[in-house]
Amino acid sequence: MQYEAKNKRKIVVFTGNRAEYGLLNPVIKALSEDPAFETTLIISGTHLSGDFGKTAGEIDTSNLAAIREIVLEIPDTDTRTSMLLSVSDLIRTGVCMLKDISPDCFVLAGDRYETFAMALTSFYCNIPIAHIFGGDLSQGGHLDDSVRHSITKLSHIHFTTNEDSFNRVLKLGEEPWRVFNVGTPVMDNVLGGNFAGPEEVSRELSLDLNRPMIIFTQHPVIQETDMAYEQAKESLEALKALGCQTVITYPCNDAGSEHIIKAINEYEGVSYFRIRKSLGWRLYLGCLRVASCVAGNSSSGLMETPIFKVPCVNIGTRQQGRLRADNVIDVSYDRNEISAALQTALNDSAFIKQVQNCSNPYGQGGASKRIAHVLSTLPFDKKMLQKKMTY
């Protein structure tokens, strides 16, 4: 069916940080290339912040109807306060933007506070919300779990990435006709080879790909911000002692991030460390393709490493409870534990074989087209907006 311009469904997609855009990119591509839709992208958060790599320039703008920006003037105060003030800024600016665009549906992903702000805005503007990655668990003392489930309760359409999350969204009382288990969109980038090749990775990061290479990202935990510096130091000391090529990226901009950044910058002189504010999603996926191990506490370590059969050393509590494959070793913030786990990941033949045979619990690809198909067929009507709980 060919859609006339006047009959196209107006879709707005929101992205507020590098990691979430890497997950959303294939969805944005599928929507923007589908003649059923007129797709607008709203960009905010660290995409527009030089302190975190200003990643807006890496966003693919092809076939989009428009791009809107919400620049956050984050004050130099306690970062928990800054997070709340950013939520306020997003709501105040976002409500005017959404009223101006007047979309048929608002698409967002994940569990960031920026995402929650825009979900709340869309909900009160009476715009149907399609949420990706609902139902996941991460019970390690961070805000993400509560925020993610709150977004689920505000949303009208749910795209989960695995069966556990699908069932959890249903247990939260969402009507079954609203919930679709589609898998992770990241698989679409991987299967399409849409990431940096080995030569580009080697050139951009000055890496010798004939030698082992580790990717390290550690984010703060909101209930442990006073320990963020020491926690990062334990990880970095273990990596330094290992003496392996290590690509280190800055954390997200959650409260406590400044302490982790301070720790990271103390290792600028380590010759085998490659410190970057952000890799961008193409280069990051390219690094995963050639990495010997991923370490830290990013959700990517659990959700994306099984795709590439890469070992993951998951440090601390941030991802506690999240679904994982057999390629993950969980350790505490202790340099000796971290060192032992890294040695296992790099050198233990039995564990390496286990990683190579691990199954990916997040689907086998095609998520983006499934999402586009659902959004092209579901009616955005009164029934969509009138949610009924099934408790």
* CB count in 10 Å sphere of residue 161: 27
Concatenated DSSP letters of 162-188: SHHHHHHHHHTT--GGGEEE---THHH
DSSP state, 141? S
Q: How far apart are CA 45 and CA 217, in angstroms?
A: 19
Concatenated DSSP letters of 61-111: -TT-SEEEEE-----SS-HHHHHHHHHHHHHHHHHHHHHHH--SEEEEES-
Element (H, E) at 242: helix 228-242
pLDDT given for residue 5 in this prediction: 52
Residue 155 predicted with pLDDT over 60: yes
Q: How far apart are CA 141 and CA 296, in angstroms?
A: 16
Residue 266 predicted with pLDDT over 80: yes
Instruction: Extract the tokens encoding 303.
Output: 């959700």
Q: How far apart are CA 38 and CA 7, in angstroms?
A: 9
Q: Do domains 5-183+366-385 and 198-356 have the same CATH topology?
A: yes
Comparing CA positions, the residue from 291, 296, 307, 308 lying closest to residue 333 is 296
Q: How far apart are CA 47 and CA 43, in angstroms?
A: 7
Which tens digit of pLDDT belongs to each residue from 188-221? 988 888 899 999 999 999 999 999 999 999 999 9
Which tens digit of pLDDT belongs to each residue from 328-355? 999 999 999 999 999 999 999 999 999 9
Percent of the chain whose pLDDT exceeds 90: 74
DSSP state, 48? G
Topology of 5-183+366-385 in CATH? Rossmann fold (3.40.50)
Burial of 6 (0-12, 13-18, 19+ CB in 10 A): exposed
Which whole number is the average pLDDT over 20-30?
Answer: 89
Instruction: Extract the tokens encoding 358.
Output: 């691990």
pLDDT given for residue 59 in this prediction: 82
pLDDT given for residue 27 in this prediction: 96
Q: Helix, strand, coil proportions of the chain in percent (round to 5)? A: 50, 15, 35
Q: Which CATH number applies to 198-356: 3.40.50.970, 3.30.1050.10, 1.20.1090.10, 3.40.50.2000?
A: 3.40.50.2000
pLDDT given for residue 247 in this prediction: 98
pLDDT given for residue 2 in this prediction: 44
- Residue spans of the domains in the chain: they are 5-183+366-385, 198-356
Residue entry with tokens 């050639």: 290
Q: How far apart are CA 113 and CA 295, in angstroms?
A: 24
Mean pLDDT of the chain: 92
Residue 34 predicted with pLDDT over 60: yes
